[in-house]
Structure 1
Amino acid sequence: MMQTRRISFAGSTLSIEFSGSQPAKVIDLLYRHIPAGADQPGFATYRLLNDPQTDLLRLYRDKALLYQGDCAATAAELLLGDTCYHLAAQSQAGLLFHAAALSWQGRGLILPGASGSGKSTLTAWLLSQGFDYLTDELVFVPWQTDSIQAFTRPINLKSPARFILSNIFDFEKQAAGMLSSSYATLIPPALFYPAQTGSEAPLALIIFPRYQVDSSFELQPLSKAQAGLTLMQTLINARNLPEHGFAEITRLVRQTPAYTMRYSSFDEISQEVRKLLETQK
């Protein structure tokens, strides 16, 4: 029997139709923390189907075939990436950033950065240190608010991160609860640390992380102008916004402290980030 799951985020809604036990498990893993959308058609409809004769998975966006094969992890990553992209492309109700987000004692932290910049690996480490998870990829700030609304999804770790995090996470022991392909692993955040997983927090701090081999740890405050220009580089939906979102970015950095963070190991990060967050109201 065909089931339908509607996904709403950042003012956009899409629909996902699926049938079969494997597709149902994939949809639950990917979207269990995302609010269900209103009972109305979304701007796009995805279908994830399991052929009972061949056991192949097929993934469609409307009529376009996106994937056909037997790897659930590959289908899941394609579905997750495509839905995130198209939700972002439709968003007009606020600022949408490429950023990870966590919270500490109710204070929200965002870590802006491009895809592939190491946000997910750093997020997984902070999660293992007791931070509450919000997202590793998309952060939405509605107009005239200082509230983070996060796309709370599984942590998406590329293969090299497995070695980096192997001293804090047993990938083999937790394999049954994850989806892994040759190039990435999707991990429910609760497997890293059974802390609270949420989707909203008041924004208290912005940190732009930069990994640099053999560097010493350094946190440097940014001026409001520097913070605004750097944050603009991670704004996904600028073309949909009045003035490309510049006025809202300016408002946000005027009231939120921002830092750059250079690091080559995780040793000092959690302690120093906690200190900064604890000084915020």
Structure 2
Amino acid sequence: MMATIGIINTSLVTIAVNEIISSLITKTDASSDQLVGIEIDASSHTLTKKVLNEKSKTTPQNQEIAQLRYSSIDENNQTAIAEQIDQYDALLIITEKDDIFEAFEQKNKVMYIQTSMFNDIEGSDHSVGFDSALNALTTNILQIKDTAVSMIYQNPRLFCIQIPGTAKNQLLYDTALAVDGTVMIDEHDEIAYEQLRSSILSKYEQGITYSFVLTNHSVDPSIIEQKLNRIVELDFKHVQFDEAQCMGPYPTAVDKILARKITNTITDWCQQTNTSSRLLIKEDQAIVTTASSAS
């Protein structure tokens, strides 16, 4: 019996969203199920529905396109939106946060699929989008390194790399590790400045004329520059990456594999489970847990 599955995207981690939806399309087309994308107008809260299938994945010029636009849902508008949503065999909601939309669960069983470039999903070992973001950032920073190596300056060069986010997370620390950089999460930590100064000068003595310090949007790079200039002569350069630059043109193999594991688990859940659920990654497997509102 053909199932009709609705899907809403409330996540801005586009590379993860596109990969999950692409994998779902392949799966639903093969099983003759129907995947219906639901987009919500931000001002009027009216819905637009469209069938997602292999034909919808590309333009006539065979170029891949985004399958489902971002929709904003919050406590203030979820009831009005939920009233307009049809009854489906299952409703999938791709999120960035641990949102629970109880109004949607009154009519449909809901699967919450959380994505994150920061790998900070509570209860999950890994998040779709993290590996692609880590790879894109590392590639972009190493391109800066290639330029730095080719140029000679009188003083050491310090590149202050500012990435998205306002909290400690694995993306910040793993990116720093990948590019041999130093993490700065408190621009007022005097001990951290002394350690950074020693690292810069040590590298310079070895003939490495550049260094990277990585931070996020909770830190003011101008303060880092001012404090460092008091204790060491250097050429300071601030480089900021936004979320779009963290996505990269293609998902990594790790994220593609995770998306397929998620799709397989969703297929089983649609057929076997009658309660709203949340999907997590544990021990390299996509597992289903009970959504908070249903517990």
Q: TM-score, normalization: structure 2?
A: 0.21
Which has more helix, going by share of residues? 2
Higher relative contact order, chain-length normalized (CA < 8 Å, sep 6+) = 2
